[in-house]
Amino acid sequence: YPDFEKGLPNVYTMTAIKALNPKAEVARAQAALAVNISAARGLQDVLKSNLGPKGTMKMLVSGAGDIKLTKDGNVLLHEMQIQHPTASLIAKVATAQDDITGDGTTSNVLIIGELLKQADLYVSEGLHPRIIAEGFEAAKDKALKVLEEMKVTREMDRETLIHVARTSLRTKVHAELADLLTEAVVDAVLAIHRPNEPIDLFMVEIMEMKHKTDSDTQLIRGLVLDHGARHPDMKKRVEDAFVLTCNASLEYEKTSVNSGFFYKSAGEREKLVAAERKFIEERVKKIIELKNAVCADNSKGFVVLNQKGIDPYSLDALAKEGIVALRRTKRRNMERLTLACGGIAMNSFEDLTPECLGQAGLVYEHTLGEEKYTFIEKCGNPLSVTLLVKGPNKHTLTQIKDAVRDGLRAVKNAIEDGCVVSGAGAFEVAVHDALIKHKPSVKGRAQLGVQAFADALLIIPKVLAQNSGYDPMETLVKLQTEYKESGQLVGVDLSSGEPMVASEAGVWDNYSVKKQLLHSCTVIASNILLVDEIMRAGMSSLKG
């Protein structure tokens, strides 16, 4: 009989599932909670140093030796191998945050870890987790109200958008590069933005070129295609051109019907060859006619962009007429081309009219090592643009690409929300203060849950200060005093460690990011707290 006074675990509490399947592995109550909290805190420790503009980067080395430098919480969590159910739950939360808003993944994981840690302080002293979860809910409602009060609704002019984009980009790449990308990103989104329609970020193409430095990244008001014309006689540079976008084959194609033909003489064979080609030649003739019709009296150029192939004979014929033809352009460029240059994408060469042509100011080809790029620029009013990312090596390119994507999302969110929120930890300090004031109006022991929530939110300014090298507690106290005295939203100034008014410094966060953050971390933390038993009743020796 086990001796209870020796403090041995009570082996006689059988859980129900063990009666059914003795091999089921069960972790009960406090042990389950301790395991879950430990998993969440492990993840939090990993991501802590990545937060904010002064956060460090993590270098991920794959098995093959590829290097990826990143700061994005979502990317890191997916590269780490996690089989533990709670930890993978948190990783999924980060994915959801990334899908919906594009930013705030690191903050999300940090807040969840901190919520659980604060809850643990109370649970280990005997408070039931359900009460804390209720407290979290009440605190979240109040925090959302504070968010509504704090948001600044203003006209999304270029200036504000630049601030929003810069805040987001500075947390991903270093400051000079962030400033450069900011302009490009904001201009890109403004270009594709059509009033009263949702912004479609597919219209911004991101093209990589591995040369020069990352500061040569630029926005092209037009398109960059990653291949060139295949005919040596075609012009490399055409100015003021008509653009024909089409999706019809100009290649010789096999018949789908097997047919046979007997010929008796060389003459008949010649006729056979000519007849095979007749089909294609008709089509090419149509294009040439159109070109002549349109360009006869002026020196405009003519460019044909075909999604399908063009065979060498047709290329030859077109080149003789001075037409530049590109074949096998990407499908996603079809839509973008019509948006950039105008015109309609043609599916067949019947009924070619001048109205289906687009315009481009400059079409030229650029060779880079072995690769050729075709630039279509100076379009009249492009509703589709390209961000040309240049960098010396692969990991820089990946870094900039990820950062640009996040920056685009941030600007898009700002435009769609119509409002922004002060950043740099200002929001968290304000919510903490409001929750402490609101605490007495919450009934019962849920007050402790509210207290835990408020303390957990403060991890953001603390970690921001810590990553910059300042003492977190001291900075936090300074922030709180400043907020109490002035009532203005003060955040952490990372270069000095002093409080600063976030709005004056131009540090703005997205409203939708904060909203999604509050909702998701409360839900996940409450769910994890209320986990009473972890059961794995299947094949318990399932090795991954």
Partner 1 sequence: MCTTFFGVKKRRAATRHSSGIMALNADDDDFEWTPPSESEMKVIHAQRERQDKISKLMGAYLLKGYKMLGECCEQCGTILLQDKQKKNYCVACQELDSDVDKDNPALNAQAALSQVRERQLASQPVPQANEAPSSDAPLSITGQPRPEHCEGAASGLRGPLPPPANPSPASTVTPSFLPPSTPSIQPVQVPAPLVAPAPHPALSSAEEVVLHKLRWATQELQHSASVEASIQLCSLIRSCADSLRSLKELHQS
Q: State which of residues 325, 340, 448, 492 lies at the interface with partner 1 (CB under 8 A).
A: 448
Which of the stretches 75-83, 334-342, 379-387, 476-484 binds partner 1 when contact is defined by CB under 8 A?
75-83
Q: What does the block give as tokens for 173?
A: 């790449």
Cα–Cα distance for residue pair 487/422, rounded to 1 Å: 13
Of residues 103, 406, 417, 493, which has the active-site annotation? 406
Which of the stretches 34-42, 240-248, 390-398, 418-426 binds partner 1 when contact is defined by CB under 8 A?
34-42
CB of 310 to partner 1, least distance (A): 49
CB of 126 to partner 1, least distance (A): 6
Q: Does 530 bind partner 1 (CB under 8 A)?
A: no
Q: Closest CB to partner 1 among 198 and 444?
A: 444
Q: Does 535 bind partner 1 (CB under 8 A)?
A: no
Tally of CB atoms within 10 A around 266: 8
Cα–Cα distance for residue pair 295/289, rounded to 1 Å: 10
Q: Closest CB to partner 1 among 13 and 258?
A: 13
DSSP letter, residue 346 = B
SS3 at position 529 = helix
Q: Does 298 bind partner 1 (CB under 8 A)?
A: no
C-alpha 358 chain-centroid distance:
31
Give the footprint of partner 1 on residues 470-489 (CB under 8 A): none
Of residues 105, 329, 374, 475, which has the active-site annotation? 105
Q: Closest CB to partner 1 among 127 and 362?
A: 127
Q: State which of residues 83, 196, 256, 298 lies at the interface with partner 1 (CB under 8 A).
A: 83
Contact 365, 237 (CB under 8 A): yes
Give the footprint of partner 1 on residues 92-121 (CB under 8 A): 120-121
399's CB contacts (< 8 A; 6+ apart) are 69, 70, 172, 173
The half-sphere exposure of 510 on its side-chain side, counting CA atoms within 13 A, is 27
The residue written with tokens 């994408």 in the block is 345
End-to-end CA distance of the chain: 38
Q: What does the block give as tokens for 452?
A: 């835990």
Q: Does 536 bind partner 1 (CB under 8 A)?
A: yes
Catalytic (active site) residue 153: no
Q: Closest CB to partner 1 among 6 and 331?
A: 6
Contact 433, 211 (CB under 8 A): no
CB of 494 to partner 1, least distance (A): 23
List the one residue out of 429, 415, 417 whose CA is nearest residue 501. Answer: 429
Return the bridge partners of 67, or none.
61
Q: Does 34 bind partner 1 (CB under 8 A)?
A: yes
Q: Does 81 bind partner 1 (CB under 8 A)?
A: yes
276: buried, middle or exposed (CB in 10 Å: 19+, 13-18, 0-12)?
middle
Q: Does 502 bind partner 1 (CB under 8 A)?
A: no
Q: Does 87 bind partner 1 (CB under 8 A)?
A: yes
449's CB contacts (< 8 A; 6+ apart) are 119, 131, 132, 133, 134, 135, 136, 138, 139
Q: Does 529 bind partner 1 (CB under 8 A)?
A: no
Q: Does 84 bind partner 1 (CB under 8 A)?
A: yes
DSSP string, 393-460: SHHHHHHHHHHHHHHHHHHHHHHHH-EEEETTTHHHHHHHHHHHHHGGGS-TTHHHHHHHHHHHHTHH
Q: Closest CB to partner 1 among 79 and 176?
A: 79
Cα–Cα distance for residue pair 196/199, rounded to 1 Å: 9
Catalytic (active site) residue 406: yes
CB of 31 to partner 1, least distance (A): 5
Q: State which of residues 24, 69, 75, 82 lies at the interface with partner 1 (CB under 8 A).
A: 82
Q: Closest CB to partner 1 among 221 and 439?
A: 439
CB of 514 to partner 1, least distance (A): 26
Q: Closest CB to partner 1 among 127 and 501?
A: 127
Cα–Cα distance for residue pair 123/132, rounded to 1 Å: 8
Give the footprint of partner 1 on residues 148-167 (CB under 8 A): none
Taking the CA atoms of 226, 232, 236 and 239 in sequence, report the sign of the dihedral they define.
negative
Mark 119-148 with x for binding to partner 1 (rule: CB under 8 A) and - for no binding.
-xxx-xxxxx--------------------
CB of 128 to partner 1, least distance (A): 6
Q: State which of residues 445, 501, 523, 531 lies at the interface with partner 1 (CB under 8 A).
A: 445
SS3 at position 518 = helix
CB of 109 to partner 1, least distance (A): 12
List the one residue out of 26, 28, 32 whose CA is nearest residue 540. Answer: 26
Give the footprint of partner 1 on residues 245-274 (CB under 8 A): none
Catalytic (active site) residue 398: no
The site that binds partner 1 (CB under 8 A) totals a number of residues, namely 47
Q: What does the block give as tokens for 98?
A: 């990334």
Of residues 106, 160, 217, 386, which has the active-site annotation? 106
117: buried, middle or exposed (CB in 10 Å: 19+, 13-18, 0-12)?
middle
CB of 13 to partner 1, least distance (A): 6
CB of 21 to partner 1, least distance (A): 17
Q: Does 39 bind partner 1 (CB under 8 A)?
A: yes
Q: Does 531 bind partner 1 (CB under 8 A)?
A: no
Catalytic (active site) residue 353: no
Where in the sequence numbering do the catalytic residues fall?
A: 72, 105-106, 406
Which positions lie near partner 1, rule CB under 8 A?
A: 4-10, 13, 25, 27-31, 34-35, 37-39, 41-46, 58, 80-85, 87, 120-122, 124-128, 444-445, 448, 536, 543-544
